[in-house]
Structure 1
Amino acid sequence: MRKLIETTFITLDGVVSSPEKFAAPYFDEEYAEYARELLFAADALLLGRKTYEIFAPVWPNMEEVEGEYAVRMNSLPKYVASRTLTNADVTWNATVIDGDVAKEVARLKEQPGQNILKFSTGDLDRTLLAHKLVDEYHFWMFPVIAGSGDRLLASIDTTHLQLTRTTPLASGVVVLTYTPK
């Protein structure tokens, strides 16, 4: 059975929105290696509509800059959870999940293969948490106080997690890896 792994950027005050405003100064070789390990251990991506709409126009043009990471990102099948996109709207090797997202994600997890990697935290997570579908979280804690913005998993029920690994990076970023308790 495949694992669903979520990876998301977060500030010290819990903000997950607009990582383009806080994350880039911390992208170094150590960051790239950790991100590469996550991506290359996956053979599919799960994206919410908002993340898909941010990634899809950018990543196909990143192969010269990002090399094998971008090649891998672009080649993987993407499953997009959306109530508004249609198959006709989707490009970049993506398929819209029709109908019951929880059932489809559970079905994808049952297939043989590597991990399914989910970038970013947002509306889709309420469904994934309610159905206990996320196997591992990688929260990249950036040494930044944003002051305002969307908070990590705002308005969800109390959910207990178990810390399984802490990976401090020289840049000051700490990746906190959790599994459901």
Structure 2
Amino acid sequence: MREIAAGLFMSLDGVAERPDRWMGRYWSDEMSEGIAESLAASDAILMGKDTYLAFEQMWKPQGDSNPMAAFLNGTHKYVVSSTLDEASLTWPDTSLITGDIAGAITRLKEAPGKTIRVPGSPKLVSWLLAEDLLDELALNIMPLVAGEGARLFDGVGKEIPLTLTKSNSLKTGVIGAVYNRAG
């Protein structure tokens, strides 16, 4: 069975919304290497509507100009949305997930393949956690209090035990932490 693994940037106060506003000053080769390693273990992308729209605008025009653009442009993308339709999906190799979202994601997990990567999409990640569909949560925690913005765990509504499986402190002060479901 395939796993679903999310990777997010987060502030110390739990803000995961719009990390592009504050994460740039902490970017490093160490962070790039960790992300490249996670992408190499993946062959599908799952994301919410907002992340899809932002990523399509940013990465699609770049072609294969850098490893992240090459991965995103060359990998099948699954978009969870109740407002988009198939005609809205102009990025090649993209499928829409609507209706029974939990059932569709469960079927994706049961299909053969590598890890399904969730880049960003904090609302989707929170929902996946609450629905017991997320297997791994990788966080790059920035040494910053953002003060405002949507927090990753808002709305989860229940206790979810996790096990820390990997952690490291980067030279920029970022803490990389990887959690799996406990048990």
* TM-score category (smaller protein): over 0.9
Alignment of 1:61-140 (within 5 A): 61-63=61-63, 67-92=66-91, 93-140=93-140
Match of 1:60 in 2: 60
The separation in 2 between residues aligned to 1:126 and 1:11, in whole angstroms, is 16
The separation in 2 between residues aligned to 1:15 and 1:29, in whole angstroms, is 23
Alignment of 1:1-181 (within 5 A): 1-63=1-63, 67-92=66-91, 93-157=93-157, 158-181=159-182
The separation in 1 between residues aligned to 2:104 and 2:90, in whole angstroms, is 20
The separation in 1 between residues aligned to 2:95 and 2:64, in whole angstroms, is 25
Unaligned segments of structure 2, at least 5 residues: none
TM-score, structure 1 as length reference: 0.93
Contact 1:121 1:152 in 2 (8 A): no
Letter in 1 for 2:68: Y
Contact 1:102 1:127 in 2 (8 A): no
When residues 99 and 17 of structure 1 are mapped into structure 2, their CA distance, relative to the original with a 3 A threshold, is same
The separation in 1 between residues aligned to 2:64 and 2:74, in whole angstroms, is 15
The separation in 1 between residues aligned to 2:176 and 2:64, in whole angstroms, is 27
> How far off its partner does 1:130 sit?
3.3
The separation in 1 between residues aligned to 2:30 and 2:94, in whole angstroms, is 29
Contact 1:43 1:114 in 2 (8 A): yes
Q: Which runs of 4+ in 1 moved over 4 A?
A: none
> Could you tell me the percent identity over the aligned residues?
36
Contact 1:39 1:73 in 2 (8 A): no
Contact 1:46 1:78 in 2 (8 A): yes
The separation in 2 between residues aligned to 1:129 and 1:11, in whole angstroms, is 19
Deviations 1:38-71 (A, max 9, x none): 1121000000111111111110123465x23311
Report the secondary structure of 1:55's partner residue: helix
Greater shift, 161-170 or 124-133, is seen at 124-133
Letter in 1 for 2:176: V
Letter in 2 for 1:107: R
When residues 14 and 61 of structure 1 are mapped into structure 2, their CA distance, relative to the original with a 3 A threshold, is same
TM-score, structure 2 as length reference: 0.92
Coordinate RMSD, CA, aligned? 1.5
State how many pairs are aligned.
Answer: 180
> How far off its partner does 1:127 sit?
3.6
Contact 1:140 1:174 in 2 (8 A): yes
Greater shift, 117-126 or 138-147, is seen at 117-126
The separation in 1 between residues aligned to 2:153 and 2:120, in whole angstroms, is 11
